[in-house]
């Protein structure tokens, strides 16, 4: 049963990765990823796979962690007996309310309450997700690990995530599955299922580029580090597509990379995405 649950979690991650790659670059060669997905599917019992697919079609997330004794997606309390069974991983368990497969995750990353978006006035465009405080014009980082660490640390110091170390660990685990780097020197390392708050991102620039582990060795110069609460999962793909579209223009990349203060970066980024992320 342990294996089935782990296969399900991995299958969902790969399905997300595939959707992300498609949103970012419809022409990207996805053969390897598609093959890995087929392989995982083949290893699952038919009934489990059927249920997974139905859940996924209906609401994109089919396998979700418990959070404070409740299903992290529909928020309904889960009976203690089921919680124990989920923790023990003895038998596949599902939420009695929404039917999603449940798993237990130690230390779910959280967004700090004090800095949630809840206290801000409603805004349009990019300001819903980030601010000048979350821009780094010159990353110190030389590696992917350091870049993710630097951006996570900034999110933590601004009160957007708790336990940056845990966030980094999860982002790198996702990165190890398939690189989040796409064309034009962009990379989108991220963490899903963050509790509380709204979708938030920090941006770092690295003129020299950082190796995000793409098969062809191309380097990433504009790095978006994104924390994604479960309810924003589907919206994330639209944001990703908007950002990729913005920076498919050479001039847009040049304008942003030339910024040398967080304020200039934020102003430029907001201006560039006015059309693509309304």
The single residue among 33, 37, 63, 71 that binds Zn ion, judged by CB under 5 A, is 71
Q: Establish if 133 lies at the interface with Zn ion (CB under 5 A).
A: no
Determine if 95 is a binding residue for Zn ion (CB under 5 A). yes
Tokens of 218: 């191309």
User: Which member of 9, 98, 112, 177 binds Zn ion (CB under 5 A)?
Assistant: 98
State the minimum distance, in angstroms, from the CB of residue 227 to Zn ion.
21
Q: Are strands 200-211 and 135-136 parallel, antiparallel or unpaired?
A: parallel
What is the rounded CA–CA span in Å between residue 250 and residue 246? 9
- Indicate the residue among 30 and 230 with the shorter CB distance to Zn ion: 230
Segment near Zn ion (CB under 5 A); pick from 28-36, 89-97, 141-149, 251-259: 89-97
**Which residue lies nearer to Zn ion by CB, 70 or 257?**
70
Nearer to Zn ion, 71 or 136 (CB): 71
**34-42, 68-76, 86-94, 257-265 -> range binding Zn ion (CB under 5 A):** 68-76
Q: Does 83 bind Zn ion (CB under 5 A)?
A: no
Span from 92-100, 157-165, 238-246, 249-257 in contact with Zn ion (CB under 5 A): 92-100
The dihedral over CA atoms of 178, 209, 165, 237, expressed in degrees to the nearest 10, equals: -50
Query: Tokens representing 69?
Result: 């004794």
Scanning 44-143, the segments in alpha helix (DSSP H) are: 46-59, 80-88
- SS3 at position 31: helix
Q: Where are the beta strands (DSSP E) in 174-264?
A: 181-182, 186-187, 190-194, 200-211, 219-229
Examine residue 245 and tell whether it contacts Zn ion (CB under 5 A): no
Q: Is 70 in the site for Zn ion (CB under 5 A)?
A: no
Binding segment for Zn ion among 1-9, 43-51, 72-80, 200-208 (CB under 5 A)? 72-80
| 77: DSSP letter | B
| Minimum CB distance to Zn ion smaller for 94 or for 184 | 94
Question: How far is residue 6's CA from residue 51's CA, in Å, rounded to a whole number?
Answer: 16
**Both structure tokens of 34:** 């598609």
Q: Tell me which stretch binds Zn ion (CB under 5 A): 2-10, 63-71, 124-132, 138-146.
A: 63-71
Q: Rounded to the nearest 10 degrees, how much is the dihedral formed by the CA atoms of 27, 25, 181, 270?
A: 160
3-state secondary structure 20-70: HHHHHCCCCCCHHHHHHHHHHHHHCCHHHHHHHHHHHHHHCCCEEEEECCE
**Minimum Å distance from CB 187 to Zn ion?**
32
Q: Which of 181, 188, 203, 184 is nearest to 246 (CA)?
A: 184
Q: Which of 97/128 has CB closer to Zn ion?
A: 97
Instruction: Please give the structure tokens belonging to residue 97.
Output: 């309310």
Q: Minimum distance between the CB of residue 110 and Zn ion, rounded to whole angstroms? A: 19
Position 271 contacts Zn ion (CB under 5 A): no
74 touching Zn ion, by CB under 5 A: yes
Beta bridge partners of 102: 64
Of the candidate spans 4-12, 64-72, 134-142, 263-271, the one that interacts with Zn ion by CB under 5 A turns out to be 64-72
Give the residues lining the site for Zn ion (CB under 5 A): 71, 74, 95, 97-98
């Amino acid at each position: 049963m342990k294996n089935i649950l782990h296969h399900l979690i991995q299958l969902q991650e790969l399905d997300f990765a595939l959707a992300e790659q498609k949103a970012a670059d419809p022409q990207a060669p996805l053969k390897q990823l598609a093959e890995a997905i087929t392989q995982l599917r083949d290893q699952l019992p038919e009934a489990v796979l059927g249920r997974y697919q139905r859940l996924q079609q209906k609401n994109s997330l089919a396998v979700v962690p418990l959070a404070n004794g409740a299903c992290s997606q529909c928020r309904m309390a889960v009976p203690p007996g089921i919680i124990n069974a989920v923790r023990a991983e003895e038998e596949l368990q599902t939420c009695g309310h929404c039917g999603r497969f449940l798993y237990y995750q130690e230390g779910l990353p959280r967004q700090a309450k004090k800095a949630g978006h809840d206290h801000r006035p409603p805004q349009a465009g990019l300001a819903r997700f980030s601010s000048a405080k979350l821009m780094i014009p010159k990353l110190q980082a030389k590696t992917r690990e350091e870049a993710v660490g630097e951006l996570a640390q900034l999110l933590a110091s601004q009160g957007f995530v708790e336990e940056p170390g845990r966030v980094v660990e999860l982002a790198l685990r996702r990165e190890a599955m398939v690189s989040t780097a796409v064309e034009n020197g962009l990379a989108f390392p991220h963490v899903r299922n963050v509790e509380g708050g709204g979708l938030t991102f920090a941006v770092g620039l690295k003129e020299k580029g950082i190796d995000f582990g793409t098969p062809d060795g191309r380097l990433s110069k504009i790095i978006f580090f994104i924390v994604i609460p479960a309810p924003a999962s589907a919206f994330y793909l639209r944001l990703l597509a908007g950002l990729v579209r913005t920076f498919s223009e050479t001039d847009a990349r040049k304008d942003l990379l030339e910024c040398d203060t967080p304020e200039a970066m934020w102003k430029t980024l907001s201006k560039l995405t006015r059309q693509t992320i309304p």
